[in-house]
Amino acid sequence: MKALCWQGTNKVEVERVNDPVILNPRDGIVRITRTAICGSDLHLYDGYIPTMEPGDVLGHEFMGEVVDTGREVNRVKKGDRVVVPFTIACGQCHFCKHDLWSACDNTNPNAWMMEKMYGYSGSGLFGYSHMMGGYAGGQAQFVRVPFIDVGALKIPDGLDDEQVLFLSDIFPTGYMAAENCDIKPGDVIAIWGCGPVGQFTIRSAFLLGAERVIAIDRFHERLKMARAGGAEIINYDEVEDLLAELKWMTGGRGPDACIDAVGLEAHGTGVAAAYDYAKQRMKLSFDRPTVLRQVIQACKKDGVVSIPGVYGGVLDKIPFGAAFGKGLTFRMGQTQMHKYTERLLKHVQQGDIDPSFVITHRFSLDDAPEAYRMFRDKRDQCVKVVLDPWQAPKAA
Amino acid sequence: MTITTNLAEKHGEKPFSRRPATSKLETALTLAAGAAISIYGVLRRDWFGAAFAGGGGYLLYSGMSDLRRPYQGRLRVAFTIAKTPQEVYDFVRNPQNWGRSLREPMFEHNGDGQVTLRLGKKKNGLDFKSRVELTDEKPGEYIAWASADQRFEHRGVVHFKKAPGDRGTEISVAVEYKAATGPITHSLASLAGLNPEQLLREGLRQIKQIMEAGEIPTTVGQPVGARGLRGTAKRVLYHERPAAEMQPQRLAGD
């Protein structure tokens, strides 16, 4: 089959590899019909996530048709159309039974690597470094899905692939980021980053009853999309002092919750941002926590800081005094995917939201290397790329 | 509560802790190398010499320690398994389950107290045969064992304790062992993926995975692209087989 493989920083290639086979009794094989490039794939592309190796198959947002199942798979059948969550969960451990699926004890074959770095290991993920399990990802024509009975979300007829594809990651991720804010009537939520996760966070905040949402970015097309979702917008490149602007817009109180939907590759201005760039260039750090500092400073007293953006390593110059002084609550982590997929599928079915609004570009799998470059450089107003693994490449 | 793990008296031998930990050859080599490097360092009379003397001094120190050290190693590893103490005890007590408990089967039990510990892969691995006696046991609570020969000495206790709340069972293993190696061999073995604590931890983790999830998660045999030189060198780290062994047995959808 064809699969998109990581070959080093800024280098991905479509290669011919073996088809996946059933390796464990609870595995299934899915023939992929649609797959997407996630913002967090760019962290891999840019080389900021450790334990990636040349030849690793990328991709953790995908859906398709079940073509094979292991002998202990009962719920899912051949021919089912499914969306697969990007976190892999066994469904039997203490964490799975308490709805904390991304903390599953039993799905990371390389748990020891993560234990060395983080103390304890979370669940395995598709196509996201050996530390996170080393599972081959879904930017390919087929994928092996471990514990397919637990994760796969069956899609009823009448819904297009593009309407449900994002239940594999970014819609639940945005939704959990908003839910983590414990939104009450009258709340004002500020969201840094209007990429795909930011867009879903904006809409989820409204679904959960937020009164106002303030969206922050610097790209016009993304801010336009945020405004279409009902948010008020700030272009941080065009304001003198972002924190003063937020204070002004919230009657001097500050936002009730601040969401960092940017993560470790934040852009910014000023001395702190330059310091972060320098450190990352010298490989002294994986992360540029510019936005994290801002959300802590901007949040109102007793507010919530919610972090769906990915961080990888050890951060510094974090204003912890401000966090303590204001009594902030921090909520973060890999999305508890399995907790949200059914609930959000209902929202799609009821027409509360059509997640395909976020798609700006469609490519064949063969054109994925070009798509990565375009998405990374935000050329051609690119917000979200969807790949068709079976489509013929554009004529060269 | 006293749990017995000492067989020495029964067999009329020196107690476990009284015998030196390393082989005489390795200790002699460590001391000789340490002395040579220290002397070379002192004779250089410059900063590089000081560094050499420091390194040599460390070897001398570790060689001397090997002569005196009572134990080669102690390991303590604990996991929580979402089953009752009796279920976990029954699983561990059944020697037939032992072979399943590592990716590459590591223990073999002939049903008569003879246990083979295999390090490395099936064909190319090293076998350590060891007679093991259960020295103490309370069903559902603990199992204690000791090796009955002096070549590869080890003894330990497995405890099964109800975990707080609805979390299941805390299984904890405490082992003392005395292999005929010193710190240098130990470091080399760790680099080759044979760190004793890591082996024990992975063994327990896989017991947990089989008991809870019914299978051990794996990526061995999944599709990969061209690994290149660096990736090929790291295959050991990721438990990957050479490409020739990774041909699919059947294609998806067949």
User: What is the interface pTM, i.e. ipTM, of the complex?
Assistant: 0.91
User: A323 or B235: which carries more pLDDT confidence?
Assistant: A323
Q: Is B249 exposed, middle or buried (0-12, 13-18, 19+ CB in 10 A)?
A: exposed
Q: Indicate the average pLDDT of chain B.
A: 78
Residues of chain A with CATH 3.90.180.10: 2-169+335-388
Of A112, A104, A105, which Cα lies nearest the Cα of A85? A104
Q: B251: pLDDT confidence band, cut at 50, 70 and 90?
A: very low
Q: What local confidence, expressed as pLDDT, does residue B252 receive? A: 40
For A328-355, what is the mean pLDDT?
A: 97
Quote the tokens at residue A221. 């097309």
CB contact under 8 A, A68 and B209: no
B29 or B121: which carries more pLDDT confidence? B29
Mean pLDDT of A163-167: 98
Range in A51-55, A103-107, A362-366, B235-239 with the lowest mean pLDDT:
B235-239
Any CB–CB contact under 8 A between B83 and chain A?
no
pLDDT surpasses 50 at B250: no
CA distance A58 to chain B (A): 10
Q: What is the pLDDT of residue B126?
A: 65
Both tokens of A342, joined, read 């059914």
- The one-letter amino acid code at B147 reads S
Q: What is the mean pLDDT of residues A341-369?
A: 97
Searching chain B, which residue's CA lies closest to the CA of residue A52?
B231
Q: Provide the pLDDT for residue A346.
A: 97
Q: What per-residue confidence (pLDDT) applies to B195? A: 78
Q: What is the mean pLDDT of residues A99-107?
A: 97
pLDDT band at B1, cuts 50/70/90?
A: low
Q: What is the pLDDT of residue A393?
A: 83
Mean pLDDT for A288-300 is: 96
What local confidence, expressed as pLDDT, does residue A153 receive? 97
Mean pLDDT, residues B204-219: 92
Mean pLDDT to the nearest integer, A162-178: 98
The backbone region for B248, taken as left when phi is positive above 0, alpha when psi lies in -120 to 50, beta otherwise, is beta
pLDDT at A286: 85
pLDDT in tens, A202-233: 999 999 999 999 999 999 999 999 999 999 99
Burial string for A94-125 (b: 16+ CB within 10 Å, else e) reads: bbbeeebbbbbbbbbbbbebbeeeeeebbbbb
Chain A: give the shortest CA distance to residue B119, in Å: 19
Chain A interface includes B195 (CB < 8 A): no
Tokens found for residue B62: 């570790």
pLDDT for res B246: 46
Residue of A7, A21, A107 lying closest to B248 (CB–CB): A21
Q: Distance between CA A235 and CA A225 in Å, rounded?
A: 13
Q: What is the mean pLDDT of residues B163-187?
A: 83
Entry pTM: 0.87
- How far, in Å, are A123, B79, B208 from residue B169 at the CA level? 21, 8, 10
Statement: residue B253 has pLDDT above 60: no
Average pLDDT, chain A: 95
Measured between alpha carbons, how far is A296 from A285 in angstroms, rounded to an integer?
20
| CA pair distance A102, A336, nearest whole angstrom | 5
Min mean pLDDT across A160-164, A230-234, A384-388, B60-64 is at B60-64
d(CA A84, CA B75): 40
Top residue of A5, A88, A104, A106 to mutate, by most chain B CBs within 10 Å, is A106
Contact A190, A214 (CB under 8 A): yes
- For chains A and B, CB pairs below 8 A equal 139
Q: Which comes out higher in pLDDT, residue B232 or A46?
A: A46
How far is Cα A19 from Cα B11, in angstroms, rounded to an integer?
58
CATH superfamily assigned to domain A2-169+335-388: Medium-chain alcohol dehydrogenases, catalytic domain (3.90.180.10)
Q: Assign domain A170-332 to its CATH architecture.
A: 3-Layer(aba) Sandwich (3.40)
- What's residue B109's pLDDT? 64
Is the distance from CB of B99 to CB of B116 less than 8 angstroms? no
- A81-95, A287-301, B223-237: which range is least confident on average? B223-237
Q: So what's the pLDDT on residue B120?
A: 57
The answer to whether residue A389 scores a pLDDT higher than 90 is yes
* Segment A261-286 mean pLDDT: 88
Please give the helix or strand (H or E) that residue A172 lies within, else none: helix A170-179
Q: Where in chain A is the domain with CATH 3.40.50.720?
A: 170-332
Across the range B189-195, mean pLDDT stands at 73
Query: Looking at residue A392, what is its pLDDT?
Result: 86
The least confident of A119-123, A166-170, B59-63 is B59-63
User: Above 90 in pLDDT, residue A99?
Assistant: yes
**What does the pLDDT read at residue B105?**
54
Question: Closest Cα partner for B50 from B35, B58, B62, B38?
Answer: B38
- Residues on chain B touching A90 (C-beta within 8 angstroms): 209, 212-213
Q: What is the rounded distance in angstroms from the CA atom of residue B234 to the CA atom of residue B211?
A: 30
**How far is residue A273's CA from residue A279's CA, in Å, rounded to a whole number?**
10
Tell me, yes or no, if B216 comes closer than 8 A to chain A by beta carbon: yes
Percent of chain B with pLDDT over 70: 65
3-class DSSP state of A330: strand
Judged by CB atoms closer than 8 Å, whether chains meet at A54 and B231 is answered as yes
Please state, in angstroms and as integers, the Cα–Cα distance from residue A175 to each residue in A170, A291, A336, A347, B194, following that order.
8, 20, 10, 11, 44
Segment of A58-72, B39-53, B176-190, B224-238 carrying the highest mean pLDDT: A58-72
In terms of average pLDDT, the best of A51-65, A269-283, B214-228 is: A51-65
Question: What pLDDT, in 10s, does the model give residues B2-29?
Answer: 777 766 666 666 566 555 656 678 788 8
Q: What is the percent of chain A where pLDDT is above 70? A: 99
Q: How does residue B240 score in pLDDT terms, banded at 50, 70 and 90?
A: low
Measured distance CA(A128)–CA(A43) in Å, rounded: 10
